[in-house]
Chains A and B, each alone.
Chain A
């Protein structure tokens, strides 16, 4: 059981900044995220795109913003449960919560802050009628452990970076790699595209374009897929394989949080914006893009503000009746849980002769 003060669901910018604000109040944080890395949309969808409305940054890449936020909160030693989705929440008799992920990891905290943005990222599944029957029986929507594919015949479908990069990687691991895409052009980093080109020429990747997978077959597991090639002439054929890995990107879904008894409006969680961003369940807060209230704006900078106010309310729940006044970091410095201290240099007091 992982124990913490504030359990944050979602490791995007709002969740990461919460760690810093909570740390100033001597509260520890742990974050759960369905993605394998922190940063949320900023690192998953647009790491190389600039953002222009982060205060004091005329321009910052989304990936760099994530790095800066991690650096800013590092001394408060946040814990992470990554690659797992928060599934259930159970309120205990003492008012605390236990949140369990889809992999069974349990987290115990007196305060839960949902900073889940548009939701957890779920793979987009191609429209093949029986694909669900083969999930985990040869069909995987993301590659978690490349060794799993050692000496197997693998078919990858998709036209973006992940399809290219995994085809390259698996060409050294799998016995056979086939990459199928609906058009001849791929959207990815130039060197990835060039590498696939080289591997195709060396016959280490079997590239089929423009084509798409239209069928899956096999008795208890994937044995072959049916491909429809569009050019030079339209034809259908089979490819024998052990694994079919469609990589068509991810789309955010509110997911299991929808069943937590929270008031939901427009796919977002209703909160009290006059006070502390608490939901209809005391002790559960929602901050950032995933909440809603009159006048809500889905902006990173608004998430930062909401996180800051939420931490004050969390302090009151965790330390009932304990006195506290707002301190300025410039005056008080920042004392990390790792023993580090940041502080403003002392003024020099010296006579001028």
Chain B
């Protein structure tokens, strides 16, 4: 579908998944991961997407221009574990046409 974008997600076992994500359903990256069941239910998106649990932390591998980090995401990442310079919370990355070609790796469960 023309509203879909192509993104690449490396799951926690290191397997790469090329998936299509709709841009017109107000979905975020965490929800895309859940919709394709790339991480077991209950291990991702625990807080539902409020930037309050960091279970959807991922490392951004592509040079995609991402939405700027808001205070609550920055605060959550500062308390999360396994954080790297390219860490983001999947729930704060909306699927828009600008995310075409995004590549991410899911951070370990903690």
Contact = CB atoms under 8 A, between A and B. Distances in A.
B46 A251 contact: yes
B53 A251 contact: yes
A159 B46 contact: no
Interface centre among B46, B50, B71, B78 (most CB of A within 10 A): B78
A183 to B, nearest CB: 5
Contact of A49 (B41, B43, B50, B110): B50
A208 interface: no
A15 interface: no
B30 to A, nearest CB: 14
B75 A267 contact: no
A230 to B, nearest CB: 11
Interface in A215-257: 248-249, 251-252, 254
A266 B50 contact: no
Given A46-B50, A124-B110, A119 B79 contact: no
A118 B45 CA distance: 11
A182 B78 contact: yes
A232 B71 CA distance: 22
Contacts of B82: 127
Contacts of B46: 118, 251-252
B52 A251 contact: no
From DSSP, what is the main secondary structure of chain A's interface residues?
Answer: loop
B47 A45 contact: yes
A159 B42 contact: no
B81 A127 contact: yes
A187 B42 contact: no
Contacts of A251: 46, 53, 55, 110
A86 interface: no
Interface centre among A126, A251, A266 (most CB of B within 10 A): A251
A160 interface: yes
Chain A interface residue count: which class? 20 to 34
Nearest to B110: A124
Contacts of A183: 74-75, 78
Given A118-B42, A187-B72, A266-B42, A45 B53 contact: yes
Nearest to A184: B78
A40 B7 CA distance: 35
A41 B53 CA distance: 12
B42 A119 contact: yes
Contacts of B72: 187
Contacts of A119: 42
A135 interface: no
Contacts of B75: 159-160, 183, 185-187
Interface centre among B41, B42, B47, B82 (most CB of A within 10 A): B42
Interface in B13-54: 40-43, 46-47, 50, 52-53
A267 B43 contact: yes
A267 B41 contact: yes
Contact of A267 (B42, B50, B81): B42
Interface string A113-132: 00000110000101100000
B78 A46 contact: no
A249 B41 contact: no
Given A118-B46, A119-B42, A46 B79 contact: no
A249 B46 CA distance: 13
Contact of A159 (B40, B71, B78): B78
18 contacts: A46-B50, A46-B52, A127-B81, A127-B82, A158-B79, A159-B79, A183-B74, A185-B71, A185-B75, A185-B78, A248-B79, A248-B81, A249-B53, A251-B46, A266-B40, A266-B41, A268-B41, A268-B42
Given A181-B78, A187-B71, A267-B41, 11 more contacts: A45-B47, A124-B110, A127-B110, A159-B78, A182-B79, A185-B78, A251-B46, A251-B53, A251-B55, A267-B42, A267-B43
